[in-house]
Chains A and B, each alone.
Chain A
Amino acid sequence: MSPARRPVGPSSAAVAAVVLLLAGCTGPSSADRDAADTVSQAVDQATSAVAIGTLVVELVRDDRTTAATADTTLNDALLDVWDAQGVLTRDVPADPEATAARDRATAAADAGATALADARAWVNDTSGSDVDHVAAALSAAADALDAAGAEVAG
């Protein structure tokens, strides 16, 4: 989230009213979203999922959550990242540059999914991984997603 903030006042309400009226007349705004916006939202979703995984791993390491709750939370995070992967895979960018950005975002989301799946296996004690390895994979995926997000935004 950006730290830059602006006040919400009557002008914002007026803008909101105009936008919603226009949107109500022209149909769902999702149809109007451009490819960059779609990719950006999918990257945000995958980034959020990886952040959830990172927090869960910290909680398990510090014995502050149960295996059942951690497993459920990681499973929910995996569903989010799969959703993001689906959006990225279905996206058809308009030019080669956008396609390259989309491909890097997809690779980063894939890394996030793998890291989350590994974390889940670690929580359930079904893998030989240790906490450092799991945390490092999540951190690397987060870095890749940040870079992909910056590329899409820039």
Chain B
Amino acid sequence: MKRLLGVALGILTAIGGFVDIGDLVTNAVVGARFGTSLVWVVVVGVVGICLFAQMSGRVAAVSGRATFEIIRERLGPRAGGANLVASFAVTLMTLTAEIGGIALALELATSVESRLLIPVAGLAVWLVLWRVKFQVLENVTGMLGLLLVVFAVALVQLGPDWGALIDSALHPVTPADEPAPVYWYYAVALFGAAMTPYEVFFFSSGAREEGWTAKDLSQSRSNVLIGFPLGGLLSVAIAGCAAVVLLPRGIEVTSLSEITLPVALAGGKLALAVVILGIVAATFGAALETALSTGYTLAQFFGWSWGKSHRPARAARFHTAMLLAVLLGTLVLLSGIDPIAVTEYSVVFSAVALPLTYLPILVVANDRQYMGEHVNGRLTNALGLVYLVVIVVASLAAIPLMIATGAGR
């Protein structure tokens, strides 16, 4: 019974923890511009993150090494160091976006200007990282993130033409007034939002934090293979709400407030309160995960003592790195930069950086020296190679598409 509860909790937190500011913004922007015609990218992204997280969790559980320990071992200090710089920069950008997301959600609840709330958000993130145990912070934010199910409830309440929504999703089309490069730019952005590198750093390092071994692989698999696809459904519901309410009115999504409009229209003040709380939980949880990921990547690469379970005095550099990352993200936002713009760029650069971590994990997951009998099976390898191609193509196309479309404008 206790094991069953553990599995259920793992799945629920995986669902609730799936959506972050990147998913919220990108899915709403895409829904408001392209309807459900890019839902196929969410499906591709969810299958990809399942594959990637499942491999990295298995590698961590079996070999006892987290992602950046492996990258350092396999690529050496030079290539590994370049990988670290790129991955750390993207994770820091994502952390900045998440802190901004917390402030924007709090602004929606209070109408206090978000710039005044940014230091509060940054301080709260750091205090929780400093004081709260790993499992508590992971489970509480994941469970509260489940409140975003309200998007799915709202979509049902809005009573859309389901046939048209499903037809648009199954037969991808783009509005005649949207150029094809813009469509593909948002396809890459949506892919980057679903397959954010920090999720893998956090998942593999979390496996070490929780002391997973080969015996825990089935639970890891169920968390990923059930939790992430259900989390992906939340992403689709966000896009669906935008497609039903914002697209017909010609509303462009440029801020967090617009994302909540369909929910308020469908469910009134109660649904609005739930969605704001859900957004705070989702962005707060993701801010904690990204902040931890900055500490994990640096500590694992440089061989420092790391882990949330270690007291700050015993892992001083790990905790200092997280503190500085949170401080830097907060200061960047205080400069007046738009958190939504940071979010939009962070998902695109996530796509750019993805091959850097995907390839070493794919290689190690096939290495019997590390994995013994738990190496990838044929099906996983076939899928892994297909995704390697998809990830490399998305990575190479991302920046040229960004330039060609003026970042989707």
Q: Does A2 contact B (CB under 8 A)?
A: yes
Q: Does A129 contact B (CB under 8 A)?
A: no
Please tell me if the beta carbons of B251 and A6 are within 8 angstroms of each other in the complex: no
Please tell me if the beta carbons of A51 and B250 are within 8 angstroms of each other in the complex: yes
Give the contacting residue for B403; candidates A28, A47, A65; CB below 8 A. Answer: A28
Please tell me if the beta carbons of B404 and A24 are within 8 angstroms of each other in the complex: yes
Instruction: Count contacts on A: residues with CB < 8 A to the other chain.
Output: 48
A4 to chain B, nearest CB (A): 4
Known: A12-B183, A29-B406, A73-B257. A64 touches B174 (CB 8 A): no
Give the contacting residue for A21; candidates B33, B250, B272, B400; CB below 8 A. Answer: B400
Distance A27 CA – B406 CA, assembled complex (angstroms) = 10
- Using CB atoms, name the residue of chain B closest to A146: B250
The residues of B that contact A63 with a CB separation of less than 8 Å are 268-269
Give the contacting residue for B173; candidates A8, A62, A69; CB below 8 A. Answer: A8
Please tell me if the beta carbons of B272 and A69 are within 8 angstroms of each other in the complex: yes
Question: Chain A contact residues: over half helix, strand or loop, or mixed?
Answer: helix
The residues of A that contact B109 with a CB separation of less than 8 Å are 68-69
The residues of B that contact A76 with a CB separation of less than 8 Å are 254-255, 257-258
Distance A19 CA – B403 CA, assembled complex (angstroms) = 10
Question: Chain B contact residues: over half helix, strand or loop, or mixed?
Answer: helix
Q: Does A71 contact B (CB under 8 A)?
A: yes
Q: Does B261 contact A (CB under 8 A)?
A: yes
B121 to chain A, nearest CB (A): 16
Distance A87 CA – B338 CA, assembled complex (angstroms) = 18
B382 to chain A, nearest CB (A): 23
CB proximity to A under 8 Å, residues B245-299: 245, 247-252, 254-255, 257-258, 260-261, 264-265, 268-269, 272, 276
- Using CB atoms, name the residue of chain B closest to A24: B400
Give the contacting residue for B111; candidates A6, A44, A72; CB below 8 A. Answer: A72
The residues of B that contact A28 with a CB separation of less than 8 Å are 403, 406
Please tell me if the beta carbons of B177 and A2 are within 8 angstroms of each other in the complex: yes
Seed contacts A2-B175, A24-B403, A64-B265; 9 additional CB < 8 Å A-B pairs: A7-B173, A17-B397, A48-B254, A55-B261, A59-B261, A63-B269, A75-B111, A76-B258, A80-B254
Top 3 nearest A-B pairs (CB, nearest first) are A23-B404, A73-B257, A68-B111
**24 pairs, CB–CB < 8 Å, chain A vs chain B:** A1-B33, A1-B177, A1-B247, A2-B176, A2-B177, A5-B174, A5-B175, A5-B176, A7-B171, A7-B173, A8-B174, A12-B174, A19-B179, A19-B181, A20-B184, A51-B249, A55-B261, A64-B268, A67-B111, A69-B109, A69-B272, A72-B108, A73-B108, A76-B254
